[in-house]
Structure 1
């Protein structure tokens, strides 16, 4: 006779979950597994709200199963470790990003690219090998194999550092892989939102010349004088776009809404690359002729492996890179989701789980 999820995962947990594609989140009692010999359990103190959380709770990618506890920008303090754990100790500050499992034997895993493993296990809306669902960080505690635990340096603030576990690695990885983040390279960052604003910070710290490409002229001062971009390009201004044709080595497109990409390809030098890291819910048009003329490339990039994610966090701590966040209480999360859908946040919501989740327990 098969065991129930509660019998397989007997440790009580509490969080907020969506029950259907309305996306409305409300209090939810569930359970997690006991701490295995290679596991790390930690009290969740903060959890960022990623745009993919919004897509997921509303089932906009048609892959969601309910109840769904979102959250993959999870940080907190270690409360228990398994006997074989070597990476951290009780009391350490740690995080979990988008992954909690992979096969560890495929080519991607062997190259520290667990994020591209065909058997990867996502932090939420996925299934553990024992058949039970994964639940994310909108919850009071988290447990994961130590391989998927990211150590947080002492000088990295947990609230403003949490979004780096998804937003940060999502832009850091292509900057490094495609060689955009190097002195002498000119990189464009499309969109100045949750991904884009940390993309500017990482690209500058890596030594690149950075231009923000945005539909909104109102973001120019922010981009140049606060985030440190070198220049600003209004994508709806034909004269500005024409004047920048053929001047970019690479462009990272962070926009999650449908938008034309042909004008962006025109900005690239020959052999330039447009890398998509935003995930629009509808397919974009592919202007093939624009690729042929100049041997240009459209590529995609998704988060990073665990080794690179730790490298990113350590680099961010060294260069004082954090996300610009609005810290909210747990009971504000549905309003925050509505605001996120309208891009009404500067630039990332982070839930104060440790101080505000307990008060919502029923």
Structure 2
């Protein structure tokens, strides 16, 4: 009989209720599994949306967290890519069908049967996945990533979501030398987008509601910084960019931002607003522009991102907190009062 492992965690008992300490059970380590002692877990805005039921009904109690880093504590008999003591990470997914065209191409996030999210999802064995706000997690080895030594472990946690969410479109749409890139928003996603776009060699402009974070933006690698609350910004920058990466999860005037693109430019949405966005198709037709979306990245690209960040000594700007501050952190995220990502020290969960 398999013997599940009890571990300490923080869970939402119901929609809208504060997270509380709890004990959950992790499955026994199978042949292709890795048991990870979680050291740090990032807090993503999507954690808050999910546990509060904003994106649909959930199965409670629910342990969130899909920005997970730690050390390998045990490996299954068939695992060859990871060893006890290795620095590893787990991002937004822990399984997929592995057989569809997208999975075979390394785009597991677009699995035709639906990827299995790190928490709040039905795993292949029928259980509900529980996330990284816990002391340990058991994950299929194919979804465990190596965290290189060049990145501080705590600062690496947000790379598993915010890092790959911005790296993937920046790479796909060719951010690099000679390219003019605008980053909309300087939050958890946006600050990583600035760092990565700068490291890729692009000319980087931040478009933020106000200039209050301008000093940060320039320090993180932006060449220019403009306030979108000033209508003159959209006149001054019309037709200026090859790529606009929208990281905000709020309603925006899509047509205004599309007007910032040069001929053949692309605007990519990675922020996920709760309501539909609309546009005038002439904003696209008039300059052969494109409007696109992107969601995290597959396992190979996520590993590529981690290696890139290690090479360029990039990590998230973080505020490290104890588990007793999780609920406070949620309120501060909603108030945009964090620069730029909360990370939980999971040693405080026990």
TM range (shorter): over 0.9
SS at match of 1:144: strand
Residues 36, 72 of structure 2: 8 Å contact kept: yes
Choose from 149, 159, 164 the match for 2:159.
164
Matches within 5 A, 1:95-174: 95-118=89-112, 119-174=114-169
Taking the aligned partners of 2:284 and 2:3, their CA distance within structure 1 comes to 51
Q: Deviations over 1:25-84 (max 9, x none)?
A: 001222111101111101111000001001111111114322111000001111100111
TM-score normalised by length of structure 2: 0.97
Q: CA RMSD in A?
A: 1.2
TM norm structure 1: 0.94
Match in the other structure for 1:206 = 200
**Cα distance in 2, alignment partners of residues 263 and 64 from structure 1:** 36
Cα distance in 1 for partners of 2:2, 2:309 equals 38
Whole-Å Cα distance in 2 between the matches of residues 209 and 26 of structure 1? Answer: 44
1:259, CA displacement in angstroms? 2.0
Alignment-derived partner of residue 296 in structure 2: 303
Whether the 8 Å CA contact 1:234–1:241 is kept in 2: the answer is: no
How far is 1:8 from its partner?
A: 6.9
1:329 and 1:353 in contact (8 A); partners too: yes
Q: 5+ residue gaps in structure 1? A: 1-6
- Aligned counterpart, 2:322: 329
Long gaps (5+) in structure 2? none
The offset of 1:223, in angstroms, is 1.0
1:262 lines up with 2:255 in the alignment: yes
Shift of the 23–175 alpha-carbon distance from structure 1 to 2, 3 Å rule, reads farther
**Does the 8 A contact of 2:21 with 2:349 survive in 1?**
no
2:43: which partner in 1? 49
1:3 alignment counterpart = none
2:9 paired residue number: 15
Alignment deviations for residues 101-157 of structure 1 (CA, whole Å, 9 cap, x no partner): 001110100110001103310000101122110000001101111111111112211
Tell me what 2:67 maps to.
73
Kept after mapping to 2: 8 A contact 1:47/1:137:
yes
* Whole-angstrom distance in 2 between the partners of 1:242 and 1:196: 23
Does 2:254 correspond to 1:289?
no
The size of the alignment, in residue pairs, is 349
CA distance in 2, matches of 1:56, 1:301: 19
Q: Distance in 2 between matches of 1:120 and 1:320?
A: 30
Report whether the alignment pairs 1:60 with 2:54.
yes
